[in-house]
């Protein structure tokens, strides 16, 4: 409980090498995949970006920043992608059938959160971000998404160069109610 009570995301800009090696990343992904998944559909998948491949992806989407609402901010956001040594794109997909799409999309979000917890438990800094390149159809096409797939998040992993800052948390009592008949 103490671990969960103190969990914080590291700023993507403070994440540097080294990052998880292949064995550690495999463990993080296995743990991330142990989320609630009604119907055992695995309505998500992982795309790992590291090294030269990550740099090439960032280079290919960089020109797309000019067409965003705020090109300067969009270009700056790419540093979140290029600085951390490991990036995992969690891809959400809907598999037609009995399980509602909403539940399947929620499962992908749970994967992202579980990955944050797994990385932190192994001592890595981690951040879950969706930025403009999560939504731009040209960027998602470059990433290799199929029709109906969406980026649930980019998980940035690495060594933190500074302690994650605490932020104000919600007042749980103010957002909690008890239903009664």
Bridge partner residues of 44 (DSSP): 92
Tell me: is residue 34 an annotated ligand-binding position. Answer: yes
Q: Is 7 annotated as a binding residue?
A: yes
Residue 38 annotated as binding site:
yes
Question: Quick count: other Cβ atoms within 10 Å of Cβ 102?
Answer: 9
129 labelled binding-site residue: yes
Helix (H, G, I), strand (E, B) or coil at 71: helix
Residue 93 backbone dihedrals phi, psi, to 5 degrees: -140, 150
Give φ, ψ of 158 to 5 degrees: 175, -165
User: Is residue 8 a known part of a binding site?
Assistant: yes
CA distance 116 to 125: 8
How many whole angstroms separate alpha carbon 89 and alpha carbon 54? 11
Q: In the chain, at which residue ranges do the beta strands (DSSP E only) sit? A: 15-16, 44-50, 86-92, 125-129, 150-160
Confirm or deny that 94 is annotated as ligand binding: no
Residue 153 and residue 134 in contact, taking contact as beta carbons nearer than 8 Å: yes
Residues within the annotated binding site for FMN? 7-9, 34, 38, 128-130
Residues within the annotated binding site? 7-9, 34, 38, 128-130
């Amino acid at each position: 409980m103490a671990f969960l009570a103190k969990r914080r995301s590291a700023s993507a800009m403070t994440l540097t090498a080294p990052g998880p090696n292949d064995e550690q990343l495999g463990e993080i992904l296995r743990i991330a995949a142990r989320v609630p998944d009604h119907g055992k559909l695995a309505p998500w998948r992982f795309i790992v970006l590291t090294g030269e491949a990550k740099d090439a992806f960032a280079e290919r989407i960089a020109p797309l920043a000019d067409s965003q609402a705020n090109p300067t901010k969009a270009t700056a956001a790419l540093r979140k992608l290029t600085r951390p040594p490991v990036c995992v794109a969690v891809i959400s997909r809907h598999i037609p059938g009995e399980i509602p799409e909403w539940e399947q999309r929620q499962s992908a979000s749970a994967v992202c959160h579980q990955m944050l917890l797994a990385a932190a438990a192994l001592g890595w800094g981690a951040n879950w971000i969706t930025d403009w390149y999560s939504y731009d159809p040209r960027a998602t096409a470059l990433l290799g998404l199929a029709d109906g797939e969406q980026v649930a998040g980019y998980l940035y992993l690495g060594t933190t160069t500074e302690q994650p800052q605490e932020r104000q948390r919600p007042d749980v009592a103010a957002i909690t109610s008890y239903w009664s008949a």
